[in-house]
């Protein structure tokens, strides 16, 4: 299922247009009550979003764009502010608030980031802790003593790796329903308001153009932990479940046009086999 995040306030008209474009949830920023930042969610906008049949994903982001921002004390302070803003909007208990790590964090930065989320965890109260960041950031937090409740990965700074999280931001700087935004896929229930559940999305899967590509496809699937294999139907359309795969790999045949697709193909079956061999030897 498709979501988006944006720094532009939605109106009743734009929220309805976004909904018609296939979006089910919108990521929006907290902070209007005490800061009045232009990117922040207002009560009127929240009403417009909900009346359009959309869910909202709450984000707290001040200036987490450099390593020096992160500390235990800052996490505690940010949690306090985020709680006040979420309470002001009437967000129910159990809603996630996503705290962002919005830069290419290196291994040397992870200790401070973990300390920050220790502070967030100690101060979050009735809400769930969400984190937004690169694959490396999410992995470090998952393996820490202060692991978040919800995970939102950005493809940026992730080197093609896909984290098994709740949300995946796969495209930046697009326009959806007239609104500048980033595109996201919902994997599992992200702690939205209202919540969205019952969604299963595969991280990696292989799509075969015909059954003749099976043995090549099986080798590719094995390289990716024996992931799922799909075969295109007789009309060569793309199976619906494959369209939601975060890292789609196509063996034989033409491109599907899906984001982040890996295409292993050639004019003949021998060319396809060579493309697969090169991929397996990477």
Number of domains in the chain: 2
Residues 49 and 167 in one domain: yes
Residues 161 and 253 in one domain: no
In a domain, 193, yes or no: no
User: How far is the C-alpha of 67 from the C-alpha of 108, rounded, in Å?
Assistant: 9
User: How far is the C-alpha of 159 from the C-alpha of 156, rounded, in Å?
Assistant: 8
* 95 φψ region: left (φ > 0), alpha (ψ -120 to 50), beta (else): beta
Residues 45 and 135 in one domain: yes
In a domain, 198, yes or no: no
Edge-to-edge strands, sheet with 228-231: 228-231, 204-208, 247-251, 262-264
Alpha carbon 18 to its chain's center = 18
Query: 107-166: per-residue pLDDT in tens?
Result: 999 999 999 999 999 999 999 999 999 999 999 999 999 999 999 999 999 999 999 999
Task: Select from 186, 217, 251 the last residue of a domain.
Answer: 186
Residues 258 and 132 in one domain: no
Q: Which CATH number belongs to the domain containing residue 214 in this structure?
A: 3.40.50.12090
Structural domain span for residue 265 = 204-280
Each of the 282 residues of the chain gets a pLDDT tens digit; together they read 899 999 999 999 999 999 999 999 999 999 999 998 999 999 999 999 999 999 999 999 999 999 999 999 999 999 999 999 999 999 998 899 999 999 999 999 999 999 999 999 999 999 999 999 999 999 999 999 999 999 999 999 999 999 999 999 999 999 999 999 999 999 999 999 999 875 556 778 999 988 888 999 999 999 998 889 999 888 888 887 787 777 889 999 888 887 678 999 999 888 999 999 999 998
Residues 10 and 47 in one domain: yes
């Amino acid at each position: 299922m498709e979501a988006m995040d944006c720094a532009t306030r939605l109106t009743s008209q734009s929220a309805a247009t976004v909904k018609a474009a296939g979006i089910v949830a919108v990521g929006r920023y907290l902070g209007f009550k005490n800061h009045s930042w232009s990117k922040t969610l207002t009560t009127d906008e929240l009403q417009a979003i909900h009346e359009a049949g959309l869910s909202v994903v709450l984000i707290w982001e001040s200036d987490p764009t450099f390593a020096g921002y992160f500390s235990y004390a800052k996490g505690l302070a940010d949690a306090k502010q985020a709680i006040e803003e979420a309470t002001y909007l009437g967000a129910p208990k159990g809603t996630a608030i996503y705290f962002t790590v919005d830069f290419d964090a290196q291994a040397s930065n992870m200790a401070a980031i973990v300390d920050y989320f220790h502070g967030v965890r100690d101060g979050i109260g009735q809400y769930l802790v969400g984190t937004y960041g690169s694959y490396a950031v999410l992995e470090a937090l998952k393996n820490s003593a202060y692991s978040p409740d919800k995970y939102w990965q950005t493809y940026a700074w992730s080197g093609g790796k896909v984290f098994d999280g709740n949300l995946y931001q796969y495209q930046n700087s697009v326009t959806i329903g007239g609104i500048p935004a980033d595109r996201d896929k919902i994997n599992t229930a992200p702690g939205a308001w209202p919540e969205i559940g019952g969604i299963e999305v595969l991280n990696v899967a292989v799509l075969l153009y015909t059954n003749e590509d099976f043995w090549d496809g099986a080798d590719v699937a094995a390289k990716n932990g024996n992931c799922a294999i799909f075969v295109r139907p007789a009309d060569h359309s793309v199976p619906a479940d494959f369209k939601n795969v975060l890292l789609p790999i196509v063996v034989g045949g033409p491109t599907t046009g899906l984001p982040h697709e890996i295409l292993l193909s050639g004019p003949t079956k021998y060319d396809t086999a060579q493309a697969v061999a090169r991929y397996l030897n990477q």
